[in-house]
Protein backbone atom coordinates (compact mmCIF):
# COMPACT_ATOMS: atom_id res chain seq x y z
CA UNK A 1 0.00 0.00 0.00
CA UNK A 2 1.43 3.34 -1.08
CA UNK A 3 2.12 5.79 1.73
CA UNK A 4 3.33 9.37 1.39
CA UNK A 5 5.15 11.18 4.18
CA UNK A 6 6.10 14.83 4.37
CA UNK A 7 8.71 16.19 6.71
CA UNK A 8 8.69 18.56 8.47
CA UNK A 9 5.03 19.01 9.37
CA UNK A 10 5.62 22.70 9.97
CA UNK A 11 8.39 25.13 9.14
CA UNK A 12 8.97 28.77 10.01
CA UNK A 13 11.65 30.77 8.22
CA UNK A 14 12.61 34.44 7.84
CA UNK A 15 11.92 36.13 4.53
CA UNK A 16 14.60 35.66 1.91
CA UNK A 17 15.71 32.19 2.96
CA UNK A 18 15.99 29.33 0.55
CA UNK A 19 14.21 26.23 1.81
CA UNK A 20 13.56 22.60 1.01
CA UNK A 21 10.42 20.60 1.67
CA UNK A 22 10.65 16.82 1.66
CA UNK A 23 8.30 14.12 0.45
CA UNK A 24 8.86 10.39 0.59
CA UNK A 25 6.78 7.52 -0.75
CA UNK A 26 6.95 3.80 -0.08
CA UNK A 27 6.28 2.33 -3.53
CA UNK A 28 8.50 3.52 -6.37
CA UNK A 29 6.01 2.36 -9.01
CA UNK A 30 4.47 5.77 -9.59
CA UNK A 31 3.11 7.38 -12.74
CA UNK A 32 3.79 10.93 -11.64
CA UNK A 33 4.14 13.19 -8.60
CA UNK A 34 2.47 16.51 -8.08
CA UNK A 35 3.16 19.34 -5.64
CA UNK A 36 0.27 21.53 -4.51
CA UNK A 37 -0.17 24.62 -2.43
CA UNK A 38 -3.18 25.14 -0.16
CA UNK A 39 -4.09 28.41 1.52
CA UNK A 40 -6.23 28.21 4.69
CA UNK A 41 -9.76 27.08 3.94
CA UNK A 42 -9.14 27.03 0.20
CA UNK A 43 -8.71 24.46 -2.54
CA UNK A 44 -5.44 23.14 -3.92
CA UNK A 45 -3.32 24.97 -6.46
CA UNK A 46 -1.08 22.80 -8.62
CA UNK A 47 2.55 23.97 -8.49
CA UNK A 48 4.59 21.36 -10.32
CA UNK A 49 4.01 17.99 -11.94
CA UNK A 50 6.89 15.55 -12.45
CA UNK A 51 6.46 12.50 -14.64
CA UNK A 52 8.09 9.29 -13.43
CA UNK A 53 10.65 9.53 -16.24
CA UNK A 54 11.72 13.05 -15.24
CA UNK A 55 14.23 14.13 -12.62
CA UNK A 56 13.07 17.68 -11.99
CA UNK A 57 10.73 20.48 -12.94
CA UNK A 58 11.08 24.22 -12.44
CA UNK A 59 8.62 27.07 -12.28
CA UNK A 60 9.88 30.50 -11.27
CA UNK A 61 11.36 30.27 -7.78
CA UNK A 62 10.21 26.67 -7.38
CA UNK A 63 12.15 23.57 -8.28
CA UNK A 64 10.93 20.04 -7.65
CA UNK A 65 13.13 16.97 -7.95
CA UNK A 66 12.21 13.31 -8.10
CA UNK A 67 14.32 10.28 -7.20
CA UNK A 68 11.98 7.42 -7.89
CA UNK A 69 14.37 4.66 -6.90
CA UNK A 70 14.77 6.05 -3.40
CA UNK A 71 11.13 7.12 -3.14
CA UNK A 72 11.87 10.81 -2.58
CA UNK A 73 10.95 14.19 -3.91
CA UNK A 74 11.97 17.64 -2.76
CA UNK A 75 10.44 21.04 -3.37
CA UNK A 76 13.00 23.83 -3.32
CA UNK A 77 11.75 27.40 -2.79
CA UNK A 78 14.27 30.12 -3.51
CA UNK A 79 14.25 33.53 -1.81
CA UNK A 80 11.12 32.86 0.22
CA UNK A 81 8.49 35.60 0.63
CA UNK A 82 5.64 36.09 3.13
CA UNK A 83 3.22 35.30 0.29
CA UNK A 84 4.68 31.80 0.15
CA UNK A 85 3.10 31.06 3.53
CA UNK A 86 0.73 28.13 2.98
CA UNK A 87 0.52 24.38 3.34
CA UNK A 88 2.42 22.44 0.69
CA UNK A 89 1.13 19.02 -0.26
CA UNK A 90 2.86 16.27 -2.15
CA UNK A 91 0.80 13.64 -4.00
CA UNK A 92 1.74 10.59 -6.04
CA UNK A 93 -0.27 8.90 -8.74
CA UNK A 94 0.45 5.16 -8.61
CA UNK A 95 1.66 3.33 -11.67
CA UNK A 96 -1.00 3.22 -14.34
CA UNK A 97 -2.71 6.46 -15.28
CA UNK A 98 -6.01 5.46 -13.71
CA UNK A 99 -4.71 5.49 -10.16
CA UNK A 100 -6.01 8.18 -7.84
CA UNK A 101 -3.70 10.65 -6.13
CA UNK A 102 -2.32 9.66 -2.74
CA UNK A 103 -1.46 12.63 -0.57
CA UNK A 104 0.95 13.36 2.23
CA UNK A 105 -0.27 15.31 5.26
CA UNK A 106 1.53 18.43 4.09
CA UNK A 107 4.12 20.89 5.39
CA UNK A 108 2.76 24.12 6.83
CA UNK A 109 5.16 26.90 5.86
CA UNK A 110 5.30 30.28 7.55
CA UNK A 111 7.59 32.95 6.11
CA UNK A 112 8.16 35.82 8.54
CA UNK A 113 8.73 39.35 7.18
104 binds other proteins (CB under 8 A): yes
Stretch touching other proteins by CB under 8 A, among 12-20, 60-68, 70-78, 103-111: 103-111
102 binds other proteins (CB under 8 A): yes
Residue of 14, 41, 60, 113 interacting with other proteins (CB under 8 A): 41
Q: Sketch the per residue contact string, 55 through 74, with other proteins: x for CB under 8 A, - otherwise.
A: --------------------
Q: How many residues are present in the chain? A: 113
Residues 2-19 as b/e (b if ≥16 CB within 10 A, e otherwise) read bebebeeeebebeeeeeb
Element (H, E) at 86: strand 86-94
Amino acid sequence: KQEVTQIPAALSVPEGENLVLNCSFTDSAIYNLQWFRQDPGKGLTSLLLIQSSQREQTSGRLNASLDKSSGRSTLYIAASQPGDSATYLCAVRPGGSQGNLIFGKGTKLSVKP
